Structures are given as structure tokens and as C-alpha cells.
């Protein structure tokens, strides 16, 4: 998979997870500010994932799912403060959400890193 397509895939997974966690699942309160914040998180997570893929020697589905979650969690920590719990809580939930999306999408489309 080329770098741009890989980045776009990870951007989408992180963006979706970030949007849903920021509003705690209530899509009726989504705003353009949420979309912008999620875009920053997605862009950074995508860059982190693409960089990690080139460093990592073990490239299988589970490593990809884990790296997606970690890249998203770190990006979320960097981009914005939490909306609930300790400073790392929202980032952790966002990372888990992105990892779950990665698992579901790779399983459906049989995409590997």
C-alpha cells in the first residue's frame, strides 16, 4: 500500500474515533470545531503510523492494529485536552476506538500494512 493511501486510511480511522469520543457518541452536538480538531488528530496519527511502519520489522495485522491505536492515542494527547477523566483518558479511549476501526476495516477488506 502506498504511503498516501496508508496515511489516508489511518487519518480516517483516527478522525472518526476522535469525533465520536469528543462528543461522547452524541452526533447531534458535532460542530466544525470538532471536525477541525479531529482532522489535526487524524493527520498526526496518520503521519505517526506511516513513520512507524517504516521502522517496524514485524508487519502483521495485529501490529498494525496496535500501532494505529498507539499513534491515535499519542496524537490525541498532543492535539487537545481531555473532555473527561484524567488527562490521558480520552486519548486512550480514542486510541482504542481507532484500533477497533482498524481491526474491522482490515478484516472486511483484507488490508495489511
pLDDT tens, position by position, 57-102: 777 788 889 999 999 999 999 998 887 889 899 999 999 999 999 9
Q: How far apart are CA 82 and CA 3, in angstroms?
A: 30
Q: How far apart are the first and last CA of the chain?
A: 7
The rounded Cα 38 to chain-centroid distance in angstroms is 9
pLDDT at 39: 97
Q: What is the pTM of this model?
A: 0.88
Amino acid at each position: 500500500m502506498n504511503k498516501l493511501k496508508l496515511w489516508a486510511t489511518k487519518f480516517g480511522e483516527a478522525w472518526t474515533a476522535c469525533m465520536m469520543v469528543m462528543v461522547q457518541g452524541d452526533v447531534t452536538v458535532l460542530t466544525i470545531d470538532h471536525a477541525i480538531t479531529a482532522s489535526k488528530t487524524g493527520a498526526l496519527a496518520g503521519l505517526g503510523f506511516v513513520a512507524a511502519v517504516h521502522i517496524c520489522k514485524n508487519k502483521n495485522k495485529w501490529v498494525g492494529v496496535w500501532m494505529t491505536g498507539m499513534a491515535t492515542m499519542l496524537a490525541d494527547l498532543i492535539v487537545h485536552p481531555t473532555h473527561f477523566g484524567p488527562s490521558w483518558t480520552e486519548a486512550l479511549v480514542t486510541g482504542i476506538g481507532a484500533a477497533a476501526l482498524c481491526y474491522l476495516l482490515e478484516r472486511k477488506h483484507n488490508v495489511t500494512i
